[in-house]
A and B are shown apart, each in its own frame.
Chain A
Amino acid sequence: MSEPRSSRIRWHVLVFLAPAVIVYTAVMIFPLFNTLRLALFTEIEQQRVFVGLQNFKTLFGDAIWSEQFWNALGNNFWFFFIHMIVQNPIGVLLAAILSHPRLRFAHLYRSAIFIPTILSFVIVGFAWKLILSPIWGIAPSMLDAVGLKSLYAPWLGKEEYALTTLALVSVWQFVGIPMMLIYAALLSIPEEILEAGECDGITGMSAFWKIKLPLILPSIGIISILTFVGNFNAFDLIYAAQGALAGPDFSTDILGTFLYRTFFGFQLQLGDPHMGSAIATAMFVIILIGVCIYLFGIQTRLRRYQF
């Protein structure tokens, strides 16, 4: 922080800041608030008319809209719930094993397990669609090989399983991220603490539960909020696997696909940017609430340990 004392305008500071601030403001912040503003308008005879909260009244009050909205929101929470109860434990387990000192091939496993994360949703969605398809028969024949053929069902085509299946596919894709973050957190635990625990007779599994797990809780908190934000604007996987109608019978519809259909239009449905803005506003509020709960409710309570 060394500055020549001068009262002149320091142009170079402006020049350094301007491009980033202009692009960020023009393409991100301004459209964000403009979307919130557009939610208060509607189009009547090709004129944009201010209608106040009418769009939200329609969204929550009109049976056709509200049913879709609550369906999408409920599905979205289920999608997030599956992520939390499957992705985090698997991530912690893999990271805990990988962080064993002197485990051979650790970097090989790590790189391989991370591969699904780098693939696009389109690839992941279609690949799993083909594998689970009853036409191709990979999934049923593999279940047959272990004698569990009776368990097979065309999961993606059944209303009661489709959403859970897609959530699990998404977990399969993203488990690399929690694994890496927790792995890094585990490596940063100093050996002295574990040794101190050993002196007190805390070893093996109990060392994990009593010493390591509390120390990686902040990482699990970060992963949870990242997953939350990611899930509540997810779209690509559902779109790639089930199309914009999020079939069967909207059972896999989440807020992202609902927003896409509403604002962009699909097949017979015409696009309505104003109702779309209303849904986007609802998503914004939900994400904001989630982030605030994390920042003020969870993060401040999880003490961060500095070594």
Chain B
Amino acid sequence: MNKARRSPLNTAAAHAILLTYTLIALFPVFVIVINSFKTRKAIFREPLALPSSETFSTIGYETVFKQGDFFLYFQNSMIVTVCSLFFILLFGAMAAFALAEYRFKGNTLMGLYLALGIMIPIRIGTVAILEMMVATGLVNTLMALILVYTAQGLPLAVFILSEFMKQVSDDLKNAGRIDGLSEYTIFFRLVVPLVRPAMATVAVFNMIPIWNDLWFPLILAPAEATKTLTLGSQVFIGQFVTDWNAVLSALSMAILPVMILYVIFSRQLIRGITSGAVK
């Protein structure tokens, strides 16, 4: 520790910079949320004031609940995200176990093949994906989205999980084999519980992009019954663009679920990013 790193002036400057940037980062969210609780007049007259007893109004939220089917959208997003994460983790862990545990012909090649998708975005193949979904009748079903997100998440999941599976002790697995456990039991009973932290990291990494994606819902499932929350709020805001109360309320409602998820998972997320980078 040298003196420069300790001096109070430097510390004050550091806090000043961080505080400024924190304000920049939070300001738009703050403005949107406080104005969603105000009357139309107050939104325009004093956009930066907190809602007071005179200016408080929930008219925007009433419009949103009357006009948009946000519960359905929310439910769709939930189903898509949870199912995709489930398949990414299950299939990803199984493949990672096979690559990390068994020596077989083409092991390295298979690993490289699965890793290809880490760098190449799945969106490039959209034209053929849409054609395939039309041919199989999966357009406008949540299944189409789940399949696409599972495929999109698998490469990184296999890559990260196989790193962790290599660290699981061989003695443990061999002890299981001597006790007559099948390879499946060894995987589900012994290995999966040990790599659970890594699986949580993979889940958190995949959760946010899937929840926020606009491209695939727009192209593969734009029907009213299958709209996700992201697409639903995009369409709603586009229709109500002149109704500022409704737009601000819809934005706040779209922010809410992500913020709740973030508060729950932020430690996992930040630990995941930082530990992944050290490697």
Chain B residues whose CB sits within 8 angstroms of the CB of A26 once the complex forms: 151
Partner of B251, one of A17, A101, A113, A126: A126
Main secondary structure of the interface of B (DSSP, over half): helix
User: A78 at interface (Cβ–Cβ under 8 A)?
Assistant: no
Contact call A12/B47, Cβ cutoff below 8 A: no
**What chain A residues lie within 8 Å of B275 (beta carbons)?**
184
Instruction: Please tell me if the beta carbons of B32 and A130 are within 8 angstroms of each other in the complex.
Output: yes
Interface stretch of the complex, out of B19-27, B61-69, B193-201: B19-27
- B110 is contacted by which of A17, A90, A175 (Cβ under 8 Å)? A17
Contact of A113 among B21, B99, B123, B237 (CB under 8 A): B21
Would you call B22 and A113 a contact (CB within 8 A)? yes
Contact B183 A12 (CB under 8 A): yes
How close is A181's CB to chain B, nearest CB, in angstroms? 5
The stretch of A62-70, A91-99, A159-167 that contacts the partner chain: A91-99
**Looking at the complex, which one of B104, B131, B214, B255 makes contact with A236 (CB distance below 8 Å)?**
B214
A240 proximal to B (CB < 8 A): yes
Could you tell me which residues of chain A, from 102 to 135, have a CB within 8 Å of some CB in chain B? Answer: 103-105, 109-124, 126-128, 130-131
A151 at the interface (CB under 8 A from B): no
Interface size class of B (residues with CB under 8 A): 35 or more
Contacts of B150 in A (CB 8 A): 23, 27
A32 to B129, CA, bound (A): 8
Instruction: Please tell me which one of the listed residues A38, A141, A235 contacts residue B127 in the complex, with CB atoms under 8 A apart.
Output: A38
Tell me the bound Cα distance from A32 to B182 in angstroms. 37
B114 CB contacts on chain A under 8 angstroms: 20-21, 24
Are A17 and B273 interface neighbours, CB within 8 A?
A: no
Q: Does A152 count as interface, using CB distance less than 8 angstroms?
A: no
**Cβ contacts under 8 Å, B44 to chain A:** 136-137
Q: Give the distance to chain B from A128, nearest Cβ to Cβ, in Å.
A: 6
List B126-182 residues whose CB lies under 8 Å from chain A: 126-132, 147-148, 150-152, 154-155, 158, 170, 173-174, 177, 182
> What's the Cα separation between A296 and B33 when bound, in Å?
47
Q: How far is the CA of A19 from the CA of B43 in the complex (A)?
A: 53
- Give the residue among A130, A131, A288 with the most B Cβ atoms within 10 A: A130
B213-238 vs A, CB cutoff 8 Å, 1 = contact: the mask equals 11100110000000000100110010
Q: Given the known inter-chain contacts A93-B17, A180-B277, please indicate yes or no for A113 contacting B25, CB distance below 8 A.
A: yes
CB of B266 within 8 Å of the partner chain: yes
Contacts of B132 in A (CB 8 A): 27, 31, 34
Q: What secondary structure prevails in chain A residues at the interface with B?
A: helix
Output the least CB separation between B102 and chain A (Å): 5
- Contact string against B for A residues 241-281, beta-carbon threshold 8 Å, 1 for contact and 0 otherwise: 00000000000000010011001100000000100110010
> A211 interface residue, CB < 8 Å from B?
no
Please indicate the chain A residues that have their CB under 8 angstroms from the CB of B74 in the complex.
Answer: none
Q: Which of A97, A118, A121, A138 contacts B17 (CB 8 A)?
A: A97
Asked if B154 and A20 make an inter-chain contact with CB atoms under 8 angstroms apart, the answer reads yes
A84 within 8 A of B: no
Is there an interface contact between B4 and A204, defined as CB atoms closer than 8 Å? yes
B103 within 8 A of A: yes
Q: Which of B17, B103, B261, B269 touches A1 (beta carbons < 8 Å)?
A: B103
Would you call B124 and A283 a contact (CB within 8 A)? yes
B120 contacts chain A at the CB level, 8 A cutoff = yes
State whether the Cβ of B192 lies closer than 8 Å to any Cβ in chain A: no
Among B16-72, those with CB < 8 Å from A are 17-19, 21-22, 24-26, 28-29, 31-32, 43-44, 47-48
Decide if B273 touches A180 in the complex (CB within 8 Å).
Answer: yes
Instruction: State whether A20 and B92 are in contact (beta carbons under 8 Å apart), knowing that A27-B148, A109-B18, A136-B47 are contacts in the complex.
Output: yes
B278 to A, closest residue via Cβ: A188
Question: Are B237 and A126 in contact (CB-based, < 8 A)?
Answer: yes
B125 touches A28 (CB 8 A): yes
Asked if A114 meets B266 with Cβ closer than 8 Å, knowing A27-B147, A131-B28, A287-B120, the reply is yes
8 smallest beta-carbon distances between A and B, as pairs:
A20-B95, A31-B125, A120-B212, A27-B151, A34-B128, A31-B128, A16-B98, A184-B274
Extra contacts besides A127-B251, A235-B214 (4): CB < 8 Å: A20-B91, A100-B5, A111-B270, A233-B124
Chosen A-B contacts, 17 in total, with CB atoms closer than 8 Å, are: A1-B102, A2-B170, A2-B174, A20-B154, A23-B87, A31-B128, A123-B233, A185-B278, A187-B278, A233-B123, A233-B124, A235-B214, A273-B127, A273-B130, A276-B127, A283-B124, A287-B119
